[in-house]
Chain A
Amino acid sequence: MNIFHTLLFADIRQAKSWFANHLLSKLVVIASFIGLYVGISWGLMRGAGSFFSFISQYEAFGYEAAVYIIHAAIVLIVWLSFGSFFMLFSGMFLAPGSASLYLNTLPVRSGSVFLYQMSKTMLGNIVLFSGIVIPVLWQYGVVFHAVTPLYSFHIFLLILSLMCFCAAVALPLARVVAPFVCGKEYKTAIMTLLLFFSGMLAIMKTIFPPQMGELFDASPAAYRILFDSLPLNSHVLPTYWISRLLSADPVPHAYFVVSIAAVIFLFSVLLVKDTYFSVLSAIRSRGRTGRISQATAESLLRVSRPLMLKDILMVLRNPAESGYGLFLFSVAVFFFVFLRIGMTHIARYGVFRAEIAMFAFSWIIFFAVAALLRFVFPAVSMEAVNARSLFTQPVSWKTLYRSKKVYSLLYSVILIALSWILLAVMPFEISNISLLLFLSGIMLLLLPVIMIQIGSISPKLDAAASPEVLSTNAMGMSALGVTVAMTVLALFVIKNSWDSDQVTMVRFGLGLLLVLGAVTACLELLVYRSMNRWKI
């Protein structure tokens, strides 16, 4: 336990020193994240409350539907948290950080360090998923039976056992897989994402099987048979029994499954904990033998923008960067596929279409901004990592800045192409689709340039090695602020010109273009004025 305390103390010290500089902007960032977390939980609570109240009108059928939905939510949470645990545990082995590698050289027991790292991972996931699970389960309890201390304890027990169960499976899997994927992170990331989303689709198919449609028209007798035969109502699923923890009278089987989850978890931890350091050493001993093809180098020879091409290669070849890009892309596609499916039902009623369009548009901007803040905004500052090599070359600041702008335009092209594909499949009127394409085109053309501009007004060249410092400084906050303002403006345009005549749409669209163009021009002036003050 002594090692555990020492590591905890060191982390607290580090956290304190993180707040030593730029306290205000960091507090703003943290408050924003907490606000987002609370907001999502609150939204879920309201939504779940309304939904459960609505279906409770149907008495026994409503209750059955609610139980089914709770079970479905638990299955989804299991898959999501399994994915999350697998990624996090794999990261513990593949990218342990300098602190763990240093501890590996000290006479410290592998198990103690492992338990500490694992506890942090577990705690993080429990907090994350509690924000999703608790509001829904709470409302379920409020609507269908009283929320007693025992029910609250059962919610806690359910979350804990789900996390234990997922961690128990993900941990040994990550332990076995990690040594084999070392040096092949790029391919593995693609494979993992494909598997993850295939699993997700399979789960959705299980939750909403084709026979579900027949339930609405079935006679009471046929309904019973059909409902009981739904795949999710199978009694072999452990989640079926875990979900029974939430019924008014939990069955003993539920406690049995919870105990099994705890035992598997303990067994899994005992199996892996003492091998942590040896796995780290084994992975490092394998060495990396990757070669870069000569053709790539030759193509580099032929292009005339070495700075831009270098930036592209540094993103494409960095598993962390490309993995993040791929992750955002997959989530965006996944989100739109589901939205499209949902829309086919909502479209029948012809309501909330403008609101859904605004929602879809906001999500596109959200994914774009998440990518741009990571890849484009810090592009100038990040050059300082290799300052001694780069800034001693005969390259002026203007050349560097121009190369970054061209680099940002590359993101514009990619993001516009992707967003147009995603928006084009939405079931809106052609005139409204045109409006969305036009607005997303303007936004995604100018957003990357604006990101580069704001990142170049006062680049933190002395903090190039710390991306979190770059994104939480005043300029990072400004970039976020400008993006939010731009998005609000675009949403205003959508709201006011939805289903309008084409002249109104063009008028609003051009107005937005004018405003954003003026913002870009002002920022350009600011960048050129500030360039002389850039300090390495």
Chain B
Amino acid sequence: MIHTEHLTKTFGKFTAVEDINLDIKAGDIYALIGPNGAGKTTLVKMLTGLLEPSSGTASIAGFNIRTHPVHAKTAFGYVPDDPPGYEFLSGMEFLIFTGRLRGMKDSSLTHRIGELKHIFPVADSLYKPMGEYSRGVKQKIAILAALLSRPRVLIVDEPIVGLDPPAINTFSDILRHFAAGGGSVLFVTHILEFARVATRVGVMKEGKIVREEKMTKTLHLESLV
């Protein structure tokens, strides 16, 4: 579902991401961990089409993100590390806006929002301007927006920053449920405890994936980083 070959990004003489070869299959939850500045967010930006790779390729659900960006973007939902800042739209309007951009029809969109809005207790906030939201509520809305069009792939950058403990548990369940339904998840985190949700973990340092492991209960994540 997520496939990269020799993916590299350089900024002048500085190599932020170097020769990344990823293969995340349906049902996988892949956690990318590593210290600050390791290149995790740069990698995610290339996968989501926000940055063009200097070399190599990246594809989502079989679509090359550079040559078929609209098809690739239809296939994934993305939760950015900084929540959306449409401060004068309400959460509900933001969800409708996102659904419309993703080509959803009125009826399915209304039905889907009805399903999703009960995942997190955000019903009270849905009709308030997003500018009044706390970071946590914004993050929850961003998660709901990513799930809106039932994507096949979920890409999440620092997903639990700002979330309260019950929401973190809920989000872990969402990821497991999503993967169990045949979806693929790639998430970036620096909170090692949360990385345990994953089925596989990759450790990034200085732009490279230096180690990949299957997640087990005994895997000592601190020693990997």
- Chain A positions within 8 Å of B, measured between CB atoms, are 287-294, 296-297, 300-302, 304, 306-307, 309-310, 313-314, 317-318, 385-396, 535-536
Contacts and interface: CB of A to CB of B under 8 A. Distances in A.
B84 A391 contact: no
A387 B50 contact: yes
B90 A292 contact: yes
B142 interface: yes
Nearest to A322: B88
Given A292-B127, A389-B80, A392-B80, A317 B88 contact: yes
A394 B50 contact: no
Interface string B118-136: 0000000001110110000
B162 interface: no
Interface string B100-123: 111100100110000000000000
B196 to A, nearest CB: 26
B211 interface: no
Nearest to A465: B85
B142 A394 contact: no
B98 interface: yes
Contacts of B100: 300-301, 304, 306
Nearest to B157: A388
A13 to B, nearest CB: 27
Contacts of A395: 70, 73, 101
A388 B78 contact: yes
Contact of B80 (A289, A297, A388, A535): A388
Contact of B89 (A313, A392, A536): A313
Contacts, number: 108
Nearest to B101: A393
Given A290-B128, A386-B84, A393-B98, A301 B89 contact: no
Given A292-B89, A317-B129, A536-B50, 6 more contacts: A288-B129, A288-B131, A313-B93, A389-B84, A389-B98, A392-B80
Nearest to B145: A389
Given A387-B50, A388-B78, A536-B51, A292 B101 contact: no
17 contacts: A288-B131, A291-B128, A292-B89, A292-B93, A292-B129, A294-B92, A294-B127, A297-B90, A301-B96, A301-B110, A318-B88, A389-B98, A389-B145, A390-B101, A391-B49, A391-B50, A393-B98
Interface size class of B (residues with CB under 8 A): 35 or more
B86 interface: yes
B194 interface: no
Given A290-B132, A302-B106, A297 B85 contact: no
Contacts of A307: 101
B50, B96, B98: which has the most chain A beta carbons within 10 Å?
B96
B61 to A, nearest CB: 12
B203 to A, nearest CB: 24
B102 A393 contact: yes
Contact of A293 (B51, B127, B145): B127
Interface in B56-89: 69-71, 73-74, 76, 78, 80-82, 84-86, 88-89
B73 A393 contact: yes
Contacts of A387: 50
B48, B51, B88: which has the most chain A beta carbons within 10 Å?
B88
Contacts of A290: 128-129, 132
